[in-house]
Amino acid sequence: MRLRFAPSPTGYLHIGNARTALFNYLLAKKHRGKFILRIEDTDIARSEKEFEKGIIEDLRWLGIDWDEGPEKGGDFGPYRQSERLKTYREFAERLLKQDKAYYCYCSKGELEQRNKELLARGESPRYDNRCRNLTKNQGIEYKLEGRRPVIRFKIPERMIEINDLIRGKVSFDTRLMGDFIIMKSDGTPTFNFAVVVDDILMRITTVIRGEDHLSNTPRHIMLFEALKAKIPEFAHMAMTLGPDGSRLSKRHGATSVREYRRLGMLPEAFFNYLALLGWGTKESQELFTKEELIKEFSLERCKEGAAIFDIEKLTWMNGLYIRKKEPEELVRLSLPYLKEKGLGGEEDYLRKIIVLERERIKKLSEVPELIEYFLVEKIKFDPEAVEKVLKRPEVKEILTSLKQELENLSDFSAGSLEKTIRNWTKNKDLKTKDVFHPLRVAITGRTVGPGLFETMEVLGKERVLKRLKGAERKC
C-alpha cells in the first residue's frame, strides 16, 4: 500500500489536516506500506516556504514520519509540485494529442457573464464547453487578439460511481459538470490535474482525505481513466467540527497544531486524541499508544458522521499523559515555559516541585503559574485569602508561635513536620483547620495546592521561616 499526505502550504498545519495525515500514516504503517509526503505548492500566490517548513516541523513533532518526501527523497520524486511542472505539461500534451483535452480562450469576464446568465435562469454555473470544437483559424484569431488559453479536459458524459471506503457508494452525473481546466494560462496545473498526475506517478494505492474533496473525485476518476492509469481506492473522512456543530474555526479556539504545541500539549496526547476524531474501537477505548493505534486502526471503523473537536477532552487527555511522564522529563519540557516567564531553579528542586504538582498540570503552559510560588523570593498573595484567612484576629499569634516551634525542628521532612505541627496544634487546644489554613496561605499565598507538609518539605526550612515572617506583616 502506498498512501500520501498532500498538504498545500498556504497556512500552518490545521487540526483537520493533521488528522488526515495521521489516518494515512496509521493505515500505511498497519499494512507495512509506504507513507509519502507531497507538498502541493502550485498555488504560487498563496503558498509560502515558511508554511511548508512549519507543516514539516509540526508533523515531526506529532511523531508522524514519512518514507518518501521533500528533503528525504525517494524513487518517485521530486515531492514538491512546484518542481514537477514539466511533468504536468507533458501529461497535458498527451491529453491534447489524444483529443481528450483542448485549448480554451474564454476570458474571465466572459465566463463570469455566462455564469451570471445561468444563475439567472436558475441553473448552476458551469462551463458551456464552448471552445471544445474551435476551428484552427478561430484559435489563431484568439491568439492574435492576445488571449492566453487554458487547457480544459473533455468530460465524457456518464454516471461515475465510487465505492468510498468510509461512505460506501457515491455516484455523480458528469452531465452536470462543465469541462474543467487542467492547465492554467500561466502554464501551471490546476489542483485537480496535479493531484492525479502525481498520484499516478507516485503509485498511490489509497487516498484518504477530507470530505471537502469528495466533489473533486469524479473529475479525478475521469482523469485517471483518460490517462489509462489504475484508479486508487478513496476514503473521504467527515469534517471536523467545533463543539457547537459548526465547522471548526478560530471562534472555537486554536485550530492549528502549532498553537496547541505552544499551549503545551504533549505530542503523544495530541496523536492519541486526533485518532479518536472520527474513529474508534468497538469498546470505545480512549487511551492508545502509537503502536496500539497502528495495530487497531481501520477504515471500516471510521465514522461517516462529523467529528467533534473538543478542546476540553484533549486537555483532559493531555493531563493524563503528563501524569505518566517521568519528573525529569516534565522538568525538561516545562523549562521553556518557565524561562519565558523569567522563572527557573536548580534541577533537583524543580524535579521535587513537579512531583508535587504533576497531578494538577493539564498543559505545560500552566506550569509557571502553578509553581511560581516555589520559585520566587516574594510570593504573590491571593487578596481574598489574605482577607478571609490571614486577617483573622488570632492568626498572627498562631503564625508567630508556630514559627518559633519550627525554628527548633531539625528534621524538616513531611512526616516530621506533620507530627510536630499536629502535636503543637493539639497542645495549644486549636483546631487543625485554624492552623493549617493560615499556614498554607502564609507560605504559598494561596488557599489550594498540594499536600501542606509535602509543600513545606520541598520549600525547605529556610524559605518556610522566611515566608512565615513575611506573612506576619500581612496579618
Binding region for ligand GLU (CB under 6 A): 6-8, 40, 195, 207, 209, 213
Residue 212 to residue 407: CA distance in whole angstroms: 69
Residues 6+ apart with CB under 8 A from 447: 382, 384, 385, 389, 437, 440, 441
Residue 419 to residue 29: CA distance in whole angstroms: 56
Tell me how far, at minimum, the Cβ of 223 lies from ligand GLU, in Å: 12
The residue type found at 282 is K
* Nearer CB in complex with ligand GLU: 7/149: 7
Run of H or E including 2: strand 2-5
* Nearer CB in complex with ligand GLU: 209/440: 209
Residue 223 to residue 221: CA distance in whole angstroms: 5
Q: Which of 165, 191, 190, 179 is nearest to 222 (CA)?
A: 179
Bond prior to 368 in cis (omega within 30° of 0): no
Residue 66 to residue 37: CA distance in whole angstroms: 6
Residue 392 to residue 403: CA distance in whole angstroms: 18
- Give just the sign of the alpha carbon dihedral 213, 216, 222, 224: negative
What nine digits make up the cell of 410? 531539625
The Cα angle at residue 188 between residues 184 and 191, in degrees rounded to 5: 80
Residue 423 to residue 429: CA distance in whole angstroms: 10
Tell me how far, at minimum, the Cβ of 81 lies from ligand GLU, in Å: 9
CA 444 to mean position of chain CA atoms: 36
* Nearer CB in complex with ligand GLU: 214/333: 214
* Nearer CB in complex with ligand GLU: 19/209: 209
Residues 6+ apart with CB under 8 A from 246: none
What nine digits make up the cell of 309? 473537536
* Nearer CB in complex with ligand GLU: 217/318: 217
* Nearer CB in complex with ligand GLU: 40/179: 40
Residue 70 to residue 111: CA distance in whole angstroms: 37
Q: How many Cα atoms within 13 Å fall on the side-chain side of residue 93?
A: 7
Query: Quick check: helix, strand or coil at residue 36?
Result: strand
* Nearer CB in complex with ligand GLU: 43/372: 43
Provide the annotated active-site residues.
Answer: 250
